[in-house]
Amino acid sequence: MIIVLKKDLDEEVKQRIMAELYQKGCVVREINGTGQSAIVAIGRGDLDSKAVAAMDGVAEVVPLTGKFKLVGRQWHPHNSEVKVGPITIGGQRIVLIAGPCAIESLDQAMTIAREVKRYGAVLFRGGAFKPRTSPYSFQGLEEEGLKILAQVRQETGLPVVTEITSVSQADLMDRYVDMVQVGARNMQNFELLKTVGRLGKPVLLKRGLASTIEEWLMSAEYILSEGNDQVVLCERGIRTYEPYTRNTLDLSAIPVLRNLTHLPIVVDPSHATGIREKVAPMARAAIAAGADGLMVEVHHDPDKALSDGPQSLYPQQFGQLARDIYVIAPVVGKQLDYDYIEKAGRQKHPTTGSAAMAAHLGHPGSFSHLATIQYLGSDAQMISKTSFRAIFDAVENDEVQYGVIPLENSLTGSIHENYDLLLEYNLSIVGELYLRIIHHLISVPGTRLEDIRQVWSSEAAIQQCRAFLDQQPHWQINTVHATASAVRQLNDLPTRGNAAIGSREAAQYYGMQVIAESIETNPRNFTRFGIIGKQPLTGRPKKKSSVVFSTKNQPGALFDVMKIFADSQINLVKLESRPIHGQPWQYMFYADIEADIQMPSIKEPMARLKEKTEFLKVLGSY
């Protein structure tokens, strides 16, 4: 049952209620973040709801219906996030877990770990206790393998995940690894589930070879009922009559699970297919279907692998897959972040040590807010500002380390104000991110499309939804400065029949309902955001640089500059001119190039650029 507590209840009374329920043999959880204070209690026997309702401090008792008490969404409507070291699984950043099937030696593990990290993996996998079909196959290095995993973490910074095959390994797991995997063959080993439930480490729970989704979720329920809600589900293919693949990847499990549970979902395309060339297509499909991450077997010398060589990708193939996922992720509202680990380490505030602070435009649920979460993670402390200039000021005055600003939209072009501010302030672009802009028509719960009389949103959003709005000529359209403010104010409007255009996240955040989905005219609607700061976020070589320059007023001046890029084989990805303030009909050129300006090979073309321009400023490399 869900026990709704009276408003402004003393912490002490709440603790007393929880203790009493616990003594009655209940599994007890506090519900946070829903705006109301509540407790969920599940009795293994009969729990008298009338008696609970009569307890001091209890406002209401709501029965917990459905089978999946703790993994279900009734008491936990929002998606869970599971933390493994600095990595969050279930957020908006795709998590790539990669490594060999089995740890074979320190050299093998380290070689593969370095490679997969380079290509974007954020968690390293490798079996030390291998559940093999044949007793004569390699069984794993056992504790020696765990020690190697710990060394890999030490050296690469990648948290490590490995399979636990017996209750007796719990202490070893506790000592050496960051996340434990319950393998397909052990999905219904209930003693093992209880053990990992008490271990206090995040758990990767694979689906059994022939298990239904219900059985799988019940296994997760075992782990949560022991007090561990850090559980990630891993679909790895099920046994069917089809012999062309090792198993049949059940991609439909992803949307089914999404509906039933708040737990994160990752997909293992390696065991699902058993064949190297089938891994990448299924991995791409899994991300498109909404998976939070992938677990992929990678080996630098798969022909000599002691386990699962035929399904292991070569490191370069894993790299290519990561590039594909990088492109697909924004389409489904997520990001693949190549610098995840390094950023997580650097994001701390230099003096206070707390999470990074970032400023963005608009209220929570605005697209700038979403971009900030996707770039810096939901841990970052976010401050909302009402103008772009205020964001630049906040970074310049060290109020925050980073600012997140839109630079251009795929349909409407550059956000010129920000280009001008980049020129004016002495800050750098330290990162970029592409966010897909999906607009929804949002209203207070219970409103129907035919009830709508007035619509509120930002100028840009209204423009981008023109075709949809034109179908409703009697609607009155009102402009406000940001989409999230439009959604936020719906509750405060005195009349009924109001709607806003904004993000799904804004609807959720302000307790609103989406009444028409994806109403933007062109679905290829992406905004490119820049992250501005004083310090670069990572020490890695950068892919891109932005520069601004003006040329002499003479024939061929711009051509001379372009020739420098051409001669040096530097790819120019954007060139735009902007009027210079106070100097009518004079222009600055803003250019993005695919090069890291700090690299020695760029020194010479940069020197030539300086010569050929009247003004030159590097806006940043990222």
Phi, psi (deg, nearest 5) at residue 168? -70, -10
CA nearest to 607, candidates 555, 557, 568: 568
Query: Residues 205, 224: contact at Cβ < 8 Å?
Result: no
CB of 174 to ligand PEP, least distance (A): 20
Q: Any idea how long the chain is? A: 622
Token digits of residue 177: 């690894």
Q: Please give the residues from 411 up to 440 whose contact with Mn ion meets the rule CB under 5 A.
A: none
Q: Which stretch binds ligand PEP (CB under 6 A): 182-190, 273-281, 477-485, 606-614?
A: 182-190
CB of 89 to Mn ion, least distance (A): 20
Token digits of residue 188: 């219904």
Quick one: which of 38, 70, 94, 101 contacts ligand PEP (CB under 6 A)?
101
Contact residues for 261 (Cβ-Cβ < 8 A; gap 6+): 68, 71, 72, 73, 217, 220, 233
Q: How far apart are CA 424 and CA 416, in angstroms?
A: 12
* Residues paired with 84 in a beta bridge: 87
The answer to the question of residue 236 lying near ligand PEP (CB under 6 A) is yes
Which CB sits closer to ligand PEP, 175 or 239?
239
CB of 96 to ligand PEP, least distance (A): 15
Interface map 184-203 toward ligand PEP (x if CB under 6 A): xx------------------
CB of 186 to ligand PEP, least distance (A): 8
CB of 261 to ligand PEP, least distance (A): 19
Query: Residues 266, 254: contact at Cβ < 8 Å?
Result: no
Which CB sits closer to Mn ion, 117 or 206?
206
The answer to the question of residue 101 lying near Mn ion (CB under 5 A) is yes
Q: Which stretch binds ligand PEP (CB under 6 A): 67-75, 171-179, 180-188, 401-409?
A: 180-188
Contact residues for 609 (Cβ-Cβ < 8 A; gap 6+): 547, 549, 561, 564, 616
Which CB sits closer to ligand PEP, 185 or 608?
185
Q: Please give the residues from 298 up to 357 whose contact with Mn ion meets the rule CB under 5 A.
A: 308
Quick one: which of 14, 206, 246, 488 contacts ligand PEP (CB under 6 A)?
206
DSSP assignment, residue 471? T
Taking residue 115's Cβ as centre, other Cβ atoms within 10 Å add up to 20
Among Mn ion, ligand PEP, none, residue 309 binds (CB under 5-8 Å by kind): none
Query: Residues 293, 110: contact at Cβ < 8 Å?
Result: no
The answer to the question of residue 127 lying near ligand PEP (CB under 6 A) is yes
Q: Please give the residues from 258 up to 287 whose contact with ligand PEP meets the rule CB under 6 A.
A: 271
Three-state DSSP state, 382: strand
CA nearest to 503, candidates 449, 408, 438: 438
3-state helix, strand, coil in the chain (%, to 5): 35, 25, 40
Which CB sits closer to Mn ion, 296 or 452?
296
- Site size toward ligand PEP (CB under 6 A) is 9
Binding site for ligand PEP (CB under 6 A): 101, 127, 131, 183-185, 206, 236, 271
